[in-house]
Structure formats: C-alpha cells, structure tokens
C-alpha cells in the first residue's frame, strides 16, 4: 500500500500506481464552459531557442533565406548583425505552448485571424507565451460546442513582445465530452 492514498486491496504496486494515475488525470484543453472572457493563461515552461531548432525548422520547411542560415551574411549585410530566428518557428512554438491550456480538446481550429511578428528573436532567446480569451460564442448549428476567440502573445526573457496572433477555436461543451468518453477518450485502462 502507498502511504497517504486509498487502499486497493489485492493489487500490486504497479497496478495500484496505474489506478492512481487514472484517478488523478491532468487536464488537457478546456470545455467551452470553462473559458471566461478576459482570462489569461500563462503557458509554462518557456523554450530557449537554439541555432539547431532554427536551422532544423528552416530546412524542414524549405526556408533557405540566408538571414536565418548564413551567419556571415547576417553579420555583413543585415541591420541585426546576426541570424534572426525564422518567425514561423516562433509562431509554431507559441501555438504548441497554448495547446494544453486552449485547444487541447478542440474539435477544429477554425481561423488564424491575424499574425504579427513584432520584434526579432535570436538564438539563445527564451520564449514564453500567454493567451487571453477575447470572446466566446455558442455554436448556432450544434448545441454541444462553441467558438472561443483568443489572442496569444509571445515574449522573450526580458519581456519584449515578439509575436502576437489571434485565432478562433471550436471547442466542445461538457455534454460533447460526456457522450464521447469523458476527459480522456480512447485512453486504455491498465491491467496486469
């Protein structure tokens, strides 16, 4: 038996631990009812951007601009004097950071309304993100979902805003989740 936890008679330690994990799940995303206009979700942890991250993203997406890949070019010919991290990597990073707080239960990502790269990011900068709920609207066609309108802001370790985007996400109401398996649909039940 694990001290301080309810006893599950006859179970091995591993089975007992698996049941505790099942009973103490971590929320991933939110139901429509859980969003409040004006709420701000601070995404954690931040991510320090490395040269490798930047170069890999550039190569995967076939963005071969020398501003991002050629240090000599960046030093000699740009106002920045060094490589600038490709903006779409920063956007993708912030979008990913926001998933556990915002769109982890999403039915659909409907629209990215705006995207602004406000200031440059450089190798070694650490990016943090936060998302504010701007509005929410129940679906007109299906009563088990709604649309949440959010703004995500990314900033560096010194507080400088580097990226801001607004998007609309269709999220389920609790009734939708209840009819489809609850908080973690499709998750297998551990057994010995």
pLDDT, one tens digit per residue, over 126-137 is 999 999 999 999
Convert the pLDDT of each residue in 16-58 to its tens digit: 445 544 555 567 899 999 999 999 999 999 999 999 999 999 9
Residue 30 lies inside a defined structural domain of this protein: no
pTM: 0.82
pLDDT at 181: 76
pLDDT at 107: 94
Residue 146 lies inside a defined structural domain of this protein: yes
Q: Which residues contact 85 (CB under 8 A, 6 or more apart)?
A: 49, 53, 54, 68, 120, 121, 122, 123, 125
pLDDT at 141: 96
Residue 1's pLDDT band, with cuts at 50, 70 and 90, is: very low
C-alpha to C-alpha distance for 172 and 151, rounded to whole angstroms: 19
Range of the domain at 163: 38-179
CATH code assigned at 121:
3.10.129.10
Q: What's the length of the chain?
A: 192
Residue 74 lies inside a defined structural domain of this protein: yes
Residue 5 lies inside a defined structural domain of this protein: no
Burial class (CB in 10 A: 0-12, 13-18, 19+), 51: middle
Structurally, the chain folds into a number of domains equal to 1
pLDDT at 177: 82
Residue 155 lies inside a defined structural domain of this protein: yes
Residue 6 lies inside a defined structural domain of this protein: no
Residue 2 lies inside a defined structural domain of this protein: no
């Amino acid at each position: 038996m694990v001290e301080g936890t309810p006893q599950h008679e006859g179970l091995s330690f591993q089975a007992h631990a698996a049941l505790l994990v099942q009973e103490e799940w971590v929320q991933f995303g939110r139901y429509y009812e859980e969003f409040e206009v004006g709420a701000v979700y601070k995404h954690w942890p931040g991510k320090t951007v490395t040269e490798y991250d930047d170069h890999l993203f550039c190569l995967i997406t076939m963005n071969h601009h020398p501003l991002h890949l050629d240090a000599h070019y960046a030093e000699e010919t740009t106002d920045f004097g060094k490589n600038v991290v490709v903006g779409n990597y920063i956007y993708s990073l912030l979008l990913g950071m926001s998933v556990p707080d915002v769109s982890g239960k999403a039915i659909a990502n409907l629209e990215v309304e705006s995207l602004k790269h406000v200031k440059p990011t450089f190798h070694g900068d650490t990016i943090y993100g936060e998302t504010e709920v701007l509005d929410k609207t129940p679906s007109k066609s299906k009563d088990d979902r709604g649309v949440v309108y959010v703004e995500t802001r990314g900033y560096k370790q010194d507080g400088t805003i580097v990226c801001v985007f607004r998007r609309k996400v269709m999220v389920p109401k609790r009734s939708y989740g209840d009819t489809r398996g609850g908080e973690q649909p499709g998750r297998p039940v551990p057994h010995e």
